[in-house]
Structure 1
Amino acid sequence: MKLERLPPIKSSLRPTNHPYLTGAWTPQHEEVNAWELEVIEGAIPADIDGVYIRNTENQVHQPLGRHHPFDGDSMLHQISFQGGAASYRNRFVRTRCFIAEQIAGESLWGGLADPWGTSKRPGFGAHGGLKDNASTDVVVHAGKILSTFYQCGEAYALDPETLEQHGVAPWAPLDGVSAHTKVDERTGELLFFNYSTHAPYMHYGVVDRTGKLTNYTPIPLPGPRLPHDMSFSENYSILNDLPVFWDRALLERNIHAVRLHKDLPSRFAILPRHGKAEDVRWFEAEPTYVLHFLNAYEEGDEIIMDGYFQENPTPKPLPGAPEGYEHMMAFLDEASFRPKLHRWRFNLKTGKTREERLDDRILEFGMFNQRFAGRKYRYAYSTTSKPGWFLFNGFVKHDLETGKSQQLTLPEGRYASESPFAPRVNAKDEDDGYLVSFIIDENAGTSECILIDCKRFEDGPVVRIALPHKISSGTHSCWADRAFIRNGVIGA
């Protein structure tokens, strides 16, 4: 392995026993370029050509308060595959807040678990008191990476090959951009939403393949909400108003307490992709919270949407958690909020919703072949998690046509990243490709990249590639074919 280390960043972080600042969540501060990576096992396939990009949260300075893992600064880790070889690089996203704290040499903003007023400077996003760290989601659109913040931030652009920083996306609106922007690789369009504590409380927008904002419209809601994701079909976008949101009376006192409002249904807003507020049709469903949707498609009079239905969206404090962290750890623990793979059917003719459970296992962070985004698809890939922790310990491949599945569980102490599907060059079938994931090995104190052949799913990795350092855990990732980076659409 050949390695180039970049100049170090300033850090004031002190030793700690915090459960999400240690172990697999130990912050990574080193930035490098690495090539001629060591293959631990197997061989790098020559039929994969693109980049895998993983967003991670990395706390740089000593927290002002109680630190939540989502408070950490964004670091993007990228591995590039081409011609049977791989290279790696990683960079902090130079958000305005990251730069300000580098200049100050300390934390300037409190976190998600801290009371209002902890921050030393005004905050950003729907919460209004947090740092815009851009550390939640990552996609590639119009030839650029977009790194985004779940509470609505500025959306930061980087080069997907070099990780060169390009600053705030020029089309980003005043109310920001939520994590979970959606890219339709067939049209090159990016679909997004944002939310806030002021009317109309939500907006929806479309950015074309050249990076031009072509649609931006209010989606009026009854009050402040906490949507986290959206979905789309070929002709429609699907937004949500779910009954898990801040207690309104406490919010007036700047206390951000999330509550399940049991008397309210889940509501889904369906509108044409380029539609306006007056085109929205609302569909009601069983009350729940949904962190992540998979895919949606049109079939006859119906729009069919898959995602992860939470059976217990506001869990009680986690028994046995480290003292003082019981509440936070329950909300991070899938075994506590119990997400299940679920299907909603919205009938555009009758206005009715039907629902069905697709899998009764605790699953989340689903992926699928993005060439089928917005269209009928057969295969989905979910992660399993370690009970009590926000850590992925395996994968499930779902055949949504037959209802069958295959499961692959990692050895104890090895934890995966969110794992997108990378199609083979000249792929013939929907599942003709690989799952790509970064692995954190707590037993060895190392990290690696693995590829799983989705045609031979239960055989395990076809290759294990050593990374130059142990990375931190985090949230989301994406895959981008090199041809898509270059052209902005599939098949151009």
Structure 2
Amino acid sequence: MKTISFQASPTIVWPNENPYLNDAWRPVDTEWTATSPDLEIIGEIPRDLSGLYVRNGHNPVHESIGRYHPYDGDGMVHAMAFHGGKVQYRNRWVRTVGFLAEQAAGKSLWPGIIEPRKAALRGWGSIGAMKDNAGTDIIVHGGKILAAMSQCSEPYRISPFSLETTGVEPNWARALFPRGICSHFKVDEHTGHMMFFNFGETPPYMNYGVVDRDNQLVHFEPIELPGPRWPHDLGMTENYCVLHDLPLFFDPERLRQGSHRLGFWRDVPSRFGIIPRFGKNVDVRWFEAEPCYILHLSNTFEEGDEVVMDGCIQTNPLPDISGLPTEGYERLKAMLDLHLQKARMHRWRFNLRTGQTREEDLDDQVTEFPMVNGLHNGRSYRYSYNAIPNKGFWLLEGLKKYDLLTGRTQTYMLPQGCYLSEAPFAQRRGATAEDDGYLVTFLTNLNTGKGECAIFDARDITRGPVARIVLPQQVPTGAHAFWATPDMLPDFEAGFEAALQGNY
């Protein structure tokens, strides 16, 4: 079965001079449903692969107000459901209030992250001027998909099989108003707890919270910071969370004048606040470390007296763009170049007994978007699966598997003109080892113009995909992804079969 459920009427003009609206980034205008057996499959889908792969991303419909940034576009979820060797694909826009308002108006009503001063309406996010696009992060918790944007937004719930937006989270979103929830929220698959944070430009500059397995907000605490910050991720262990206070934030003087100009303050140390899972602000223990910025963590765990945090450090998060032309998009490309930002795997050790921090690089190769086996998230682990970014442009062109016990690595590079998405780990049914499973990812294939879903054997990624599923349309480069096991979704098998028959 292949059906079109909705087709938008874009107002974006092509060819477009903005590189983040062309080629691998070019948005699609159609919502598809496609299921077995009407999907071309190259190779064979493993029969012991069962679950839901969801990936979020920014897919704008309308010409932007001011310059478009790749964080600005309307959120669109692409999803693959697997069971018993069968597969189904859907993509749907997240129907936020902002998306629906712009659909009704037939044009953009809010500016993006580059030019928030052009806002004419009340907005969302930590800046308070953006459209709530719910286009960055995505998880499954409480039996439904949860989507949000990185600058803080209302948490939107999405039905896992139909991908219908069911609205703002009904149980606890009101308690977070007006800040909402920021990516990256973390799910402890052992307890069902979801830990999250938000931030803004007025006190309290950060909040930290916990939602339990029954989808009830059971903890919400204001966190004192020296001023407005711009954090992006959150560390989670079995008993603690790690909050980030990093020296990449808006220039305080300019901010008082209403201008949002990011600065990297190289003489200000990074601070990491370790808080017990249900701790208060007074319980936070702050540790100092090398000035840096962090987009994405691999994992955080406890080892004796230490909390160990692994992730992709950036020691040059604001590359020097003074020599680049002010016209065009070379400056934006440089600002997002992970090679210029020097992103690489790094380890921080915070000693809870001595109060000392130790840190070291785990690799000198530029990698980002790390993923781990969800059962080891927050606990001791061995393997991290990272993406290898393109040099000079924000695209992901390969995978690298780290064995943190032996120091050995594996690498797989995609053919030229083909790019991947964040690749979460999907545990094989009956798995006996941490890497006994698959990596699942979307491919943006500029050579064919059709998107694909690729499945890798996580034990040996050098073999390349064991299966590729050709999709009805291109899948643009996106943001974050999540693998949901069947036990995260109520009545998974019945829901899968119903969706396969078109009963959603």
Band of TM-score, shorter chain: over 0.9
CA contact (8 A) 1:318 1:330 kept: no
| Corresponding residue for residue 143 of structure 2 | 143
TM alignment of 1:48-87, pairs within 5 A: 48-87=49-88
CA contact (8 A) 1:339 1:363 kept: yes
TM (normalized to structure 1)?
0.96
Q: Match of 2:161, as an amino acid? A: E
TM alignment of 1:329-368, pairs within 5 A: 329-368=333-372
Q: Deviations over 1:36-93 (max 9, x none)?
A: 2434421010001101101111111111111111110000000110000111011000
- The answer as to 2:244 corresponding to 1:240 is yes
- 1:325 to partner: Cα distance: 1.4
- 1:122 to partner: Cα distance: 1.6
- The answer as to 2:469 corresponding to 1:468 is no
TM alignment of 1:397-416, pairs within 5 A: 397-416=401-420
- The answer as to 2:450 corresponding to 1:446 is yes
Cα distance in 1 for residues equivalent to 2:325 and 2:402: 32
| Structure 1 pair 73–321 and aligned structure 2 pair: CA distance change class (3 A) | farther
CA contact (8 A) 1:97 1:132 kept: yes
- The answer as to 2:309 corresponding to 1:300 is no
Cα distance in 2 for residues equivalent to 1:105 and 1:369: 42
- 1:161 to partner: Cα distance: 1.8
Cα distance in 2 for residues equivalent to 1:466 and 1:203: 42
- 1:482 to partner: Cα distance: 1.3
Q: Match of 2:59, as an amino acid? A: N
Q: Deviations over 1:119-157 (max 9, x none)?
A: 231211111111110001101101011101111000100
| Corresponding residue for residue 26 of structure 1 | 26
- 1:11 to partner: Cα distance: 2.5
Q: Match of 1:431, as an amino acid? A: D
CA contact (8 A) 1:5 1:33 kept: yes
CA contact (8 A) 1:39 1:463 kept: no
- Matched position secondary structure for 1:56: coil
| Corresponding residue for residue 47 of structure 1 | 48
Q: Match of 2:394, as an amino acid? A: F
Ranges in structure 2 where 5+ consecutive residues have no aligned partner = 493-504
| Corresponding residue for residue 162 of structure 1 | 162
Q: Match of 1:141, as an amino acid? A: H
- 1:322 to partner: Cα distance: 9.8
| Corresponding residue for residue 226 of structure 2 | 222
Q: Match of 1:239, as an amino acid? A: L
| Corresponding residue for residue 495 of structure 2 | none
- Matched position secondary structure for 2:333: helix
- The answer as to 2:483 corresponding to 1:484 is no
- 1:8 to partner: Cα distance: 2.0
- Matched position secondary structure for 2:196: strand
| Corresponding residue for residue 92 of structure 1 | 93
CA contact (8 A) 2:116 2:129 kept: no
| Corresponding residue for residue 431 of structure 1 | 435
- 1:318 to partner: Cα distance: 9.0
CA contact (8 A) 1:318 1:329 kept: no
CA contact (8 A) 1:317 1:329 kept: no
Question: What RMSD in Å do the two structures reach over aligned CA positions?
Answer: 1.5
Cα distance in 2 for residues equivalent to 1:318 and 1:452: 42
Structure 1: 4+ residue segments shifted above 6 A: 318-322
- 1:326 to partner: Cα distance: 2.3
- 1:368 to partner: Cα distance: 0.5
Cα distance in 1 for residues equivalent to 2:103 and 2:10: 8
TM alignment of 1:6-17, pairs within 5 A: 6-15=5-14, 16-17=16-17
Q: Match of 1:150, as an amino acid? A: S
Cα distance in 2 for residues equivalent to 1:40 and 1:203: 46
Report the more deviating stretch, 124-133 or 19-28.
124-133
Cα distance in 1 for residues equivalent to 2:312 and 2:217: 30
- The answer as to 2:39 corresponding to 1:35 is no
- 1:254 to partner: Cα distance: 1.6
Q: Match of 1:147, as an amino acid? A: A
- 1:487 to partner: Cα distance: 8.6
Ranges in structure 1 where 5+ consecutive residues have no aligned partner = none
Cα distance in 2 for residues equivalent to 1:74 and 1:130: 13
| Structure 1 pair 35–319 and aligned structure 2 pair: CA distance change class (3 A) | farther
Q: Match of 1:7, as an amino acid? A: F
Cα distance in 2 for residues equivalent to 1:291 and 1:406: 23
- Matched position secondary structure for 1:133: coil
| Corresponding residue for residue 109 of structure 1 | 110
Q: Match of 2:446, as an amino acid? A: E
Q: Deviations over 1:179-209 (max 9, x none)?
A: 1110011111110000000012000000001
| Structure 1 pair 115–50 and aligned structure 2 pair: CA distance change class (3 A) | closer
| Structure 1 pair 115–184 and aligned structure 2 pair: CA distance change class (3 A) | closer
| Structure 1 pair 454–322 and aligned structure 2 pair: CA distance change class (3 A) | farther
Cα distance in 2 for residues equivalent to 1:297 and 1:8: 45
- Matched position secondary structure for 1:34: strand
Cα distance in 2 for residues equivalent to 1:60 and 1:457: 36
| Corresponding residue for residue 177 of structure 1 | 181
CA contact (8 A) 1:340 1:359 kept: yes
Report the more deviating stretch, 145-154 or 158-167.
158-167
| Corresponding residue for residue 497 of structure 2 | none
Q: Match of 1:240, as an amino acid? A: H
Cα distance in 2 for residues equivalent to 1:127 and 1:50: 36
- 1:319 to partner: Cα distance: 7.3
- Matched position secondary structure for 1:443: coil
- The answer as to 2:255 corresponding to 1:251 is yes
TM (normalized to structure 2)?
0.94
| Corresponding residue for residue 312 of structure 1 | 316
Matched pairs, number: 486
Q: Deviations over 1:198-241 (max 9, x none)?
A: 01200000000111000000111010000000011100011010
**Match among 287, 291, 295 for residue 291 of structure 1:** 295
CA contact (8 A) 2:410 2:460 kept: no
- 1:317 to partner: Cα distance: 2.4
CA contact (8 A) 1:319 1:326 kept: no
- The answer as to 2:193 corresponding to 1:189 is yes
Report the more deviating stretch, 315-324 or 58-67.
315-324
CA contact (8 A) 1:143 1:487 kept: no
TM alignment of 1:250-289, pairs within 5 A: 250-289=254-293
| Corresponding residue for residue 423 of structure 2 | 419
CA contact (8 A) 2:55 2:79 kept: yes
Q: Identity over aligned residues, as a percent? A: 48
